[in-house]
């Protein structure tokens, strides 16, 4: 299989915009589509790319199509379509490749893959980790589920967007690992916030304590990359929303239930994050969860 040169990119959100920009900058023949036509137009004005008027136009012109959408329902709607608009799969020919780089539900991905396989369409899931900054500089971690053959065909495409590409196993495994990773990441954030609040009540400066944690066994991604930058600074601007974090935690818990693996601690973490979202409202950064814990403790971590 040859590396596809004609690429379609569906979904130009906070992550999709810079990821597609990397592909345009690398010289691929790129066709983009987003339901927000203002965003789509801004992208083509800033990058060498073609704006598609419909999903059908993307499917007609591309060998490889990447979806970067909010959830599995949006992905399925874009691929399968509905009463008002044909999905991508209607006009994708046999041998074309569909890569879902969204944070989708792994069991839904498996089912979707079966439907596409019946049409001769190859599907891979390739969710990413690293956030907006790494999407911009092309250093994302990309977790690929599918077949090794299709991965190698698409590797040059992935290498433009990420510097670490992992083959996780069969279709859906990338989405499974991504959801489980985000659960672990959320647990680290929640634990760090709680311990810093206890330390602050005792009289330890949160920045000093965070520095100590980062030199000790308690360090994690949140203490190293989020606490000082987004919580203590009060910017709460990591670029990953609390809404999406709760969605990913729901996905992880759904998977644990389907596979009948108890995840008691993880479920508690999910409940806490969901309660924070319910209390704080929608549209906030996931690091805003710290404000909810501060409210419970009546302690403020940052100045």
Active site amino acids: 178
In angstroms, rounded to a whole number, what is the distance separating the alpha carbons of residues 38 and 25?
21
CB of 63 within 8 A of CB of 93? no
- As a residue count, the chain comes to 303
The tokens for 33 are: 């589509």
């Amino acid at each position: 299989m040859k590396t596809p040169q004609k690429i379609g990119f569906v979904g130009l959100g906070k992550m999709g915009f810079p990821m597609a920009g990397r592909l345009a900058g690398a010289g691929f023949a790129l066709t983009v589509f987003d339901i927000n036509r203002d965003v789509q137009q801004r992208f083509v004005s800033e990058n060498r790319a073609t704006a598609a008027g419909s999903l059908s136009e993307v499917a007609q012109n591309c060998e490889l199509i990447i979806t970067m959408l909010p959830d599995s329902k949006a992905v399925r709607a874009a691929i399968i379509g509905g009463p008002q608009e044909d999905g991508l799969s209607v006009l994708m020919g046999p041998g074309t490749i569909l890569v879902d780089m969204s944070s989708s539900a792994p069991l839904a991905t498996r089912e979707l893959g079966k439907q596409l396989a019946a049409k001769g369409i190859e599907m891979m899931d390739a969710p990413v980790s690293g956030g907006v900054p790494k999407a911009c500089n092309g250093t994302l971690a990309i977790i690929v589920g599918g077949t090794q053959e299709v991965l190698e065909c698409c590797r040059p495409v992935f290498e433009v967007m990420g510097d670490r590409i992992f083959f996780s196993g069969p279709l859906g495994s990338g989405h499974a690992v991504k959801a489980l990773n985000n659960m672990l990441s959320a647990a680290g954030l929640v634990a760090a916030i709680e311990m810093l609040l206890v330390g602050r009540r005792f009289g330890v400066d949160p920045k000093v304590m965070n520095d100590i944690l980062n030199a000790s066994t308690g360090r994690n991604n949140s203490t190293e990359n989020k606490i000082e930058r987004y919580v203590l600074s009060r910017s709460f601007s990591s670029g990953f929303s609390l809404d999406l974090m709760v969605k990913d935690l729901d996905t992880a818990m759904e998977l644990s239930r389907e596979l009948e693996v108890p995840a008691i601690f993880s479920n508690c973490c999910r409940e806490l994050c969901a309660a924070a979202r319910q209390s704080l409202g929608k549209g906030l950064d996931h690091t805003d969860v710290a404000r909810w814990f501060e409210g419970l403790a009546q302690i403020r971590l940052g100045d």
